[in-house]
Amino acid sequence: MLIVLDRKHDTPLVDHIRALLQEKYNCESHLIGENGRVIAVPGDTKHVDIEVFENIEGVKSVDRVEPPYKLASRKNKDRTVITLRPDVMIGSRGTLAVMAGPCSIESPEQMDETAAMAKEGGVNILRGGAFKPRTGPYSFNGLGEDGLKLLKKAGEKYGMATISEAMNEEQIDTVAAYADIVQIGARNMQNYDLLRKAGTCKKPVMLKRGLAATLEEFLLAAEYILAGGNPNVILCERGIRTFEEEVRYTLCLGSLPALREMTHLPIIVDPSHAAGRSRWVKDLALAGVASGADGLIIEIHPRPEEALSDGPQSLDREQWTDCIRSIRTVAGAVGRTVV
């Protein structure tokens, strides 16, 4: 960490800062350079609250140099590859992991039909929400554990891995008991108790980017899970809230190359929640693949008009068939195969 001061040779300030570093954070520090303006703090400084130093009068800037998300950082590792099955992996250089399924699991028939639709598209990961975070309290909020049983049954029948969301600490264990990947939703990205609990989970966790989270905040949230002992974290870019109102959320494609440099964790794009309209999903999906995503998660439904949640953005059979065909073409063009 580097602390740069406004004035040269301000010995009382230098002494004050160095004493604070030593006493409060047990950090050695050195005055470097000829102007006596730069204090260098070598070693691990992730426990140091940099705001304490930024707020001291006479301090110009504080730069941690090392990112605060040590475990998620690309500096430590090139890539994390999560192998769900020998032929289904997330994060390997030449593959594109596509997850598809309904927003919510609604009934045995709907789950089975949607799984069949996903499988016809040749994908191997089935999504389905059993615990639903809804904006309003009166909306359908999922079938709970019964829904998870339907997801597991469909996964087994069609030979697919499964993913479903947990909204609280207790649900992490329940979802992990039935699904292969536990999803943490955008609204819970900064639910730190939930992240800690996900760190103890034995299944991979897909963490969705918060509606207003910076990439650093996103990676710090992932860091909670990694620090808790779960190395299998997948990031999901699902669009952020901006001033734009025509699209449901603004899909932040720039986050893909940026995250690729910042972290070794796999990155999935969710074009469905970003678009909010089924007819726009394909274009965003293709853009995600072209921008370097390791995978996609797409909402599909045999009869979107009857869906109990997110019907307007769910692809029907025809749209899904067209979408997955184009996804394969673009994936091929960027050197990836759909798994």
Give the binding site for ligand PEP (CB under 6 A): 103, 129, 133, 185-187, 208, 238, 273
Longest dimension (CA), the chain: 75
CB of 273 to Mn ion, least distance (A): 6
Distances (CA, A) of 204 to 18, 47, 172, 249, 261: 42, 27, 11, 26, 22
CB of 92 to ligand PEP, least distance (A): 23
CB of 104 to Mn ion, least distance (A): 7
Identify residues 100-139 at the interface with Mn ion (CB under 5 A): 103
Closest C-alpha to 72, from 182, 215, 238, 251: 215
Q: Does 307 bind Mn ion (CB under 5 A)?
A: no
Q: What letter would DSSP give residue 32?
A: E
Closest C-alpha to 234, from 334, 122, 94, 89: 89
204 vs 271, which CB is nearer to Mn ion? 271
Enumerate residues 6+ apart whose C-beta is below 8 A from 175. 130, 131, 148, 164, 165, 166, 182, 183
Identify residues 137-156 at the interface with Mn ion (CB under 5 A): none
Rounded to whole angstroms, how far apart are CA atoms 126 and 111? 10
Rg (CA), the chain: 23
Neighbours of 280 (CB within 10 A): 18
CB of 64 to ligand PEP, least distance (A): 29
Distances (CA, A) of 31 to 1, 12, 59, 111, 252: 12, 13, 14, 64, 41
Q: Does 310 bind Mn ion (CB under 5 A)?
A: yes
298 vs 324, which CB is nearer to ligand PEP? 298
8 vs 241, which CB is nearer to ligand PEP? 241
Closest C-alpha to 272, from 306, 308, 320: 320
CB of 139 to ligand PEP, least distance (A): 11
103 vs 123, which CB is nearer to Mn ion? 103
Piece of the chain touching Mn ion by CB under 5 A; list 12-20, 84-92, 170-178, 302-310: 302-310
187 vs 260, which CB is nearer to ligand PEP? 187
1 vs 143, which CB is nearer to ligand PEP? 143
- β-pair partners for 5: 59
Which of Mn ion, ligand PEP, none does residue 238 bind to, with CB < 5 to 8 Å depending on kind? ligand PEP
Closest C-alpha to 253, from 282, 225, 285, 291: 291
Q: Does 274 bind Mn ion (CB under 5 A)?
A: no
Which of Mn ion, ligand PEP, none does residue 186 bind to, with CB < 5 to 8 Å depending on kind? ligand PEP
Identify residues 76-105 at the interface with Mn ion (CB under 5 A): 103
Which of Mn ion, ligand PEP, none does residue 203 bind to, with CB < 5 to 8 Å depending on kind? none
Helix (H) or strand (E) holding 127: strand 125-127
Interface with Mn ion: number of residues (CB under 5 A): 2
Which of ligand PEP, Mn ion, none does residue 37 bind to, with CB < 5 to 8 Å depending on kind? none
263 vs 278, which CB is nearer to Mn ion? 278
223 vs 310, which CB is nearer to Mn ion? 310
Rounded to whole angstroms, how far apart are CA atoms 3 and 42? 11
Binding site for Mn ion (CB under 5 A): 103, 310
